[in-house]
């Protein structure tokens, strides 16, 4: 008779641990998430801009140290600070009408808190999908004092060749290598 409670207690402990070890979902915080870009202009200075409408989520499994991420960038939200240039970017470079969303998806990437991060996934821009690696010095999490929820964030960097995605206007005067600087914060969702 004593074996049943002991086995039952072990089983309940295992189930509680398994339930706790499930991946946790985080939604991107639009107020603290931006994608900035840089490209060389006529070999003299760096042109910069950003995208303001970014949506997405990530799943982190703290026990396994793995994660998945899905990010959407609305291409019409490009912002250079120069409205006429924004129009050219939307029409010519990004083809926002035909391709309103760019995507980054990464599945089964490994991570460790407060350690360097390399997220390898697939980036889709203008209907072209290619591998892309996002690198960060670290992934950090904290409990937000007002939300009373965990928030995780990182500053990520990546480089791509715009010509690989069909953006050839202005070459070679406007550089082919585009540097992406991404600030991201994501808020833990209730289970």
Give the domain CATH number at 40: 2.40.128.110
Question: At residue 3, does pLDDT exceed 50?
Answer: no
Q: Find the Cα–Cα–Cα–Cα dihedral 156, 160, 162, 163, rounded to 10°.
A: -170
Global confidence as pTM: 0.83
Q: Stretch 104-115: mean pLDDT, rounded?
A: 84
Percentage of the residues of the chain whose pLDDT score is greater than 70 = 89
In a domain, 133, yes or no: yes
pLDDT over 60 at 39, yes or no: yes
**How confident is the model over 126-152, as a mean pLDDT?**
92
What percentage of the chain exceeds 90 in pLDDT? 71
Structure tokens at 184: 């991201």
Q: In angstroms, rounded to a whole number, what is the distance separating the alpha carbons of residues 99 and 127?
A: 7
- 144 inside domain: yes
Report how many domains make up the chain: 1
Residue 141, in any domain of the structure = yes
Burial 148-159 (b: 16+ CB within 10 A, else e): eebbbbbebebe
Q: Domain for residue 10, yes or no?
A: no
Is 17 a member of any domain?
no
**37 and 89 in contact (C-beta within 8 Å)?**
no
Evaluate whether residue 6 is within a structural domain.
no
Average pLDDT over residues 29-49: 94
> For residue 159, what are the domain limits?
22-188
Return the bridge partners of 65, or none: none
Whole-number mean pLDDT of the chain? 87
- Residue 154's alpha-carbon distances to 47, 124, 141, 151, in angstroms, are 24, 21, 9, 10
With respect to residue 39, please indicate whether it lies within any of the assigned structural domains. yes
Domain-located, residue 7: no
């Amino acid at each position: 008779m004593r074996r049943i409670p002991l086995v039952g207690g072990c089983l309940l402990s295992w189930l509680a641990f398994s339930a706790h070890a499930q991946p946790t979902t985080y939604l991107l915080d639009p107020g603290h998430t931006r994608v900035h870009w840089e490209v060389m202009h006529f070999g003299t200075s760096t042109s910069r801009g950003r995208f303001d409408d970014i949506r997405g989520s990530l799943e982190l499994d703290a026990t396994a140290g793995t994660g998945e991420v899905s990010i959407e960038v609305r291409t019409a939200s490009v912002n250079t600070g120069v409205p006429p240039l924004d129009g050219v970017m939307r029409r010519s470079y990004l083809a926002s009408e035909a391709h309103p969303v760019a995507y980054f998806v990464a599945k089964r990437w490994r991570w460790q808190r407060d350690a360097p991060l390399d997220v390898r996934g697939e980036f889709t821009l203008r209907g072209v999908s290619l591998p892309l690696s996002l690198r960060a010095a670290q992934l950090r999490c904290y409990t937000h004092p007002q939300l009373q929820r965990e928030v995780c964030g990182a500053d990520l960097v990546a480089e791509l060749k715009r010509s690989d995605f069909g953006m050839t206007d202005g070459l070679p005067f406007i550089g082919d290598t585009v540097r992406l600087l991404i600030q991201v914060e994501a808020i833990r969702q209730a289970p």
